[in-house]
Amino acid sequence: MAESNQNPAIAAAIIGVIGSISVAIISNWDKLTGQQKTAESPPTQQIATATYPPLAKTKPAVVETLPVIDISGDWYNPAAPSAGGTHIDQRSDSFEFQGWGMLAQGVGYTSKGSGNLINQTLTYDYTAQYQNGWVSKGNCTGTVTPNGAKITATCTDTIMGTYVSAGVRQ
């Protein structure tokens, strides 16, 4: 019985010896047969590089600034010239104004506001106080003629709603 227990151990030892010999033969096959082993070189990668001509030195484009249109002075509504007016004080591209007048319903008002004028586009905000105690706030966007003689704007007011305002210089 002692012999039967040793058979698997002997078989494992024989397999291990045969495996080691096989690995040694395969690893040294070129020496045993006299053939040279050719090492395969890994594929090479070529990187294409582009050459660019030197950048030409150019002067930056000169952007001409348009002169600020002068809207300073007194203005009136051409549709109702005697119903009121506005006085504008301008400093560069910003301005402040005070207005006064009478609505078609016979209610008098005064207004104050400020805004900006970029090229021919103006935007401004205002607060108006009415004789009957109402107070409204509004904002407007419009245009000025190139000669600064006429302003047309669309306004949105908390009491008056949306309306078009026009003014001509006195």
The pLDDT tens digits of the residues spanning 12-44 come to 667 766 766 666 666 666 666 666 655 565 666
* Per-residue pLDDT, 49: 73
Neighbours of 74 (CB within 10 A): 11
Helix segments in the chain, DSSP class H: 2-27, 29-33
Asked if 38 contacts 130 with a C-beta cutoff of 8 angstroms, the reply is: no
**Exposed/middle/buried for 113, CB within 10 Å: 0-12, 13-18, 19+?**
buried
* Per-residue pLDDT, 51: 79
pLDDT at 71 over 70: yes
Q: What letter would DSSP give residue 38?
A: P
In this predicted model, which residue has the larger pLDDT, 59 or 71?
71
Q: Quickly tell me which residue has 């006429």 as its tokens.
A: 150
State which H helix or E strand residue 157 sits in.
strand 150-157
Separation of alpha carbons 73 and 75, rounded Å: 7
pLDDT at 168 over 80: yes
Question: Smallest Cα–Cα separation from 103: which of 123, 77, 124?
Answer: 77
Kindly report which listed range (15-19, 53-57, 76-80) carries the lowest average pLDDT score.
Answer: 15-19
Separation of alpha carbons 29 and 49, rounded Å: 44
- pLDDT (tens digit, 9 = 90+) per residue, 112-164? 999 999 999 999 999 999 999 999 999 999 999 999 999 999 999 999 999 99
- Mean pLDDT of the region 85-99: 97
* Per-residue pLDDT, 1: 47
Residue type, 164: V
Q: What letter would DSSP give residue 33?
A: H
In this predicted model, which residue has the larger pLDDT, 111 or 46?
111
* Per-residue pLDDT, 58: 79
Residue type, 69: I
Kindly report which listed range (8-12, 86-90, 113-117) carries the lowest average pLDDT score.
Answer: 8-12
